[in-house]
């Protein structure tokens, strides 16, 4: 008699079911940098085939336990339903959760808060309506024993009216209610909650490896507190985590105060200094493998810093070399500042800002990938934009396209001098941080007529070992031949730069 599927052993059937479940095609972390507004990777439909397999018979159902499920909670009513009615077997199968509840779907007692109203201590919750809400959320999250990834967006915890308990008065529970959580993404627009809610969640995640958050000033109208005060805000969040997990025995050893984060994606203020941020982060999280720092100005991406590059031997400007480039860190200066300074190349080595950046980067012991929106500019004419503009002739556009194709065929890249300068910069960074494997450079899309920027170019670079037996001492640096193109409008991000969620709530609704 021919062998059937049910003749297979339980172990083999379980292994087959692994490949049926498409959740495992989604990486952890699955979040993107703040500028990358792709649709979420979370999708309940990824488990459809797996659930269909489970439904075939009791034996298969017993072998293939519920797992890898994705859950979206976008109303308080749904939160209460899951608290009261969800079977334990289903709750234990939740691996990824998005909690994003806009103000119109909040509990009624939180939608009606009014600083001008009299507070009754007899009816309702008095001045403490936030307390049962926080208790309900922690109780629900603690049920998700298999939860590995969490997205937090709009939240009923957003309460900043002074007559009531506010978000910053809440305390994290004494238990680790998210023991298996590996990845958390705080995609919170409220400028207060973007700082306060991470302090409630992060300390209760002993297995946390991947973090996306915002580190901005508490007011868009004030000078950012990057230099001292607000740098302490990130430090305080990590210290809370360390206090919970590195000091269970009460031993105070500063050498052990190191966070085990592997991925950090952080949105920072426009006037923040990348080098200062690196020094702060490396002191807390030296074991990072992947680090993204994203600056914004009025919700739009802005360069982390400009990197001026000059070919130091001017006798043949069309010759490229890997060793004859010098660089200067230009901070947040505009492109005009770079070109005004380009004649003073002899003074560039005297500026130590680039060296300071390299020293700060070298503090990371395991860093493999980074993106700080570094914007290189070298002493060549700025190429025409690949996107046609209203004043461009079709013949000029065709010439540019042909030039791109010819360069690709000849050099394997559209701009060989730019590529060589980027390779040289990477070589210098590798001297300080030899663990690097890949990273990115960006081109801020200036037009000579000062038109607003529309398209960004993103260049990827990779370090390829030449010989596995040389232990990484020999390598090749490759620049991806074609840059990625992103529209400025698509890249806008409001995380940490808006008012409380309830500001736009119509109190007369319902």
Residues 440 and 423 grouped into a single domain: yes
In a domain, 147, yes or no: yes
In a domain, 21, yes or no: no
**pLDDT per residue as tens digits for the range 92-133:** 999 999 999 999 999 888 877 765 555 554 345 677 889 999
Q: Which region among 286-300, 394-408, 493-507 has the lowest average model confidence (pLDDT)?
A: 394-408
CA angle 81, 84, 86 (to 5 degrees): 75
Q: What's the domain range around 103?
A: 71-299+497-501
Q: What is the pLDDT of residue 332?
A: 61
Contact 369, 437 (CB under 8 A): yes
In a domain, 140, yes or no: yes
Q: How confident is the prediction for the chain on average, in pLDDT?
A: 82
Q: For residues 420 and 412, what is the distance between their CA atoms, to the nearest angstrom? A: 12
Higher pLDDT, 89 or 3: 89
Q: What is the pLDDT of residue 249?
A: 40
Residues 293 and 317 grouped into a single domain: no
Residues 371 and 251 grouped into a single domain: no
**pLDDT per residue as tens digits for the range 407-455:** 666 656 667 788 888 999 999 999 999 999 999 999 876 554 444 557 8
For the chain, give the longest Cα–Cα distance.
86
Higher pLDDT, 224 or 102: 102
Buried b (16+ CB within 10 A) or exposed e, 417-435: bbbbbbbbbbeebeebbee
| Sequence-ordered list of residues with C-beta below 8 angstroms from that of 474, at least 6 positions apart, any chain | 465, 466, 467
Taking CA atoms, 285 is separated from 208, 216, 255, 281, in Å, by 12, 19, 12, 6
Residues 289 and 325 grouped into a single domain: no
Specify whether the backbone of 124 is left (phi greater than 0), alpha (psi in -120 to 50) or beta.
left
In a domain, 263, yes or no: yes
Residues 181 and 286 grouped into a single domain: yes
pLDDT at 243 over 80: yes
Q: For residues 8 and 245, what is the distance between their CA atoms, to the nearest angstrom? A: 44
In a domain, 56, yes or no: no
DSSP string, 467-494: -GGGTTSSEEEEE-SS-EEEETGGG---
Residues 125 and 196 grouped into a single domain: yes
Q: What is the pLDDT of residue 193?
A: 94
CA 505 to chain centre: 29
- Over residues 343-361, mean pLDDT: 82
Q: Residue 3's pLDDT band (boundaries 50, 70, 90)?
A: confident
Residues 255 and 285 grouped into a single domain: yes
Residues 232 and 313 grouped into a single domain: no
Contact 295, 374 (CB under 8 A): no
In a domain, 28, yes or no: no
Q: What is the pLDDT of residue 76?
A: 96
Q: For residues 88 and 482, what is the distance between their CA atoms, to the nearest angstrom? A: 50
Instruction: Kindly state the tokens that stand for 299.
Output: 């919700």
Residues 251 and 309 grouped into a single domain: no
Q: Residue 400's pLDDT band (boundaries 50, 70, 90)?
A: confident
In a domain, 35, yes or no: no
Q: For residues 432 and 429, what is the distance between their CA atoms, to the nearest angstrom? A: 5
Residues 313 and 446 grouped into a single domain: yes
Residues 412 and 386 grouped into a single domain: yes
**Total domain count for the chain?**
2
**pLDDT per residue as tens digits for the range 51-93:** 999 999 999 999 999 999 999 999 999 999 999 999 999 999 9
pLDDT at 470 over 80: no
Q: Residue 336's pLDDT band (boundaries 50, 70, 90)?
A: very low
- Over residues 474-484, mean pLDDT: 86
In a domain, 110, yes or no: yes
In what helix (H) or strand (E) does residue 313 lie, and over which residues does it extend?
none
Residues 203 and 85 grouped into a single domain: yes
């Amino acid at each position: 008699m021919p062998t059937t599927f049910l003749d297979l052993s339980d172990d083999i059937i379980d292994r087959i079911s692994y490949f049926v479940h498409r959740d495992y095609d989604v990486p952890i972390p699955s979040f993107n940098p703040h500028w990358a507004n792709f649709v979420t990777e979370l999708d309940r439909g990824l488990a459809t085939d797996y659930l269909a397999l489970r439904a075939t018979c009791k034996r298969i159902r017993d072998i293939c336990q519920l797992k890898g499920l994705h859950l979206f909670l976008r109303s308080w009513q749904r939160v209460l339903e899951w608290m009261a009615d969800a079977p334990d077997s289903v709750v234990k199968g939740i691996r990824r959760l998005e909690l994003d509840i806009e103000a119109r779907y909040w509990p009624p007692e939180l939608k009606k808060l009014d600083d001008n109203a009299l507070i009754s201590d007899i009816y309702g919750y008095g001045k403490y309506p936030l307390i049962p809400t926080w208790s309900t959320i922690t109780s629900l999250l603690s049920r998700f024993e298999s939860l590995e990834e969490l997205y937090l967006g709009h939240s009923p915890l957003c309460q900043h009216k002074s007559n009531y308990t506010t978000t910053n008065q809440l305390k994290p529970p004494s238990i680790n209610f998210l023991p298996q959580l590996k990845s958390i993404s705080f995609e919170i627009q409220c400028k207060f909650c973007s700082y306060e809610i991470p302090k409630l969640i992060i300390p209760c995640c002993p297995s946390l490896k991947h973090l996306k958050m915002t580190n901005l000033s508490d007011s868009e109208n004030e000078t950012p507190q990057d230099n001292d005060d607000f740098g302490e805000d990130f430090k305080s969040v990590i210290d809370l985590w360390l206090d919970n997990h590195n000091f269970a025995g009460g031993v105070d050893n500063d050498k052990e105060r190191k966070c085990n984060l592997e991925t950090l994606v952080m949105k920072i203020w426009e006037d923040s200094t990348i080098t200062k941020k690196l020094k702060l982060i490396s002191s807390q999280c030296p074991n990072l493998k992947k680090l993204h720092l994203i600056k914004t100005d009025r919700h739009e991406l802005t360069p982390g810093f400009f990197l001026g590059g000059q070919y130091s031997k001017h006798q043949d400007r069309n010759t490229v070399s890997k060793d004859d480039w010098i660089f200067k860190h230009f901070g947040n200066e505009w492109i005009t500042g770079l070109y005004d300074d380009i004649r003073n190349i002899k003074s560039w080595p005297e500026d130590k800002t680039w060296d300071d950046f390299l020293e700060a980067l070298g503090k990371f012991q395991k860093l493999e990938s980074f993106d700080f929106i570094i914007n290189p500019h070298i002493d060549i004419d700025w190429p025409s934009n690949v996107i046609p503009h209203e004043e461009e002739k079709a013949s000029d556009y065709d010439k540019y396209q042909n030039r791109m194709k010819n360069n690709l065929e000849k050099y394997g890249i559209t701009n060989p001098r730019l590529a060589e300068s980027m390779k040289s910069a990477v070589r210098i960074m590798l001297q300080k941080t030899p663990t690097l494997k890949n990273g990115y450079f960006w081109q801020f899309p200036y037009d000579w007529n000062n038109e607003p920027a529309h398209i960004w170019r993103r260049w990827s670079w990779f370090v390829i070992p030449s010989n596995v037996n040389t232990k990484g001492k020999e390598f090749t640096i490759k620049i991806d031949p074609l840059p990625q193109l992103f529209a400025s409008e698509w890249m806008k991000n409001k995380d940490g730069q808006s008012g409380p969620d309830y500001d736009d709530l119509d109190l007369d609704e319902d």
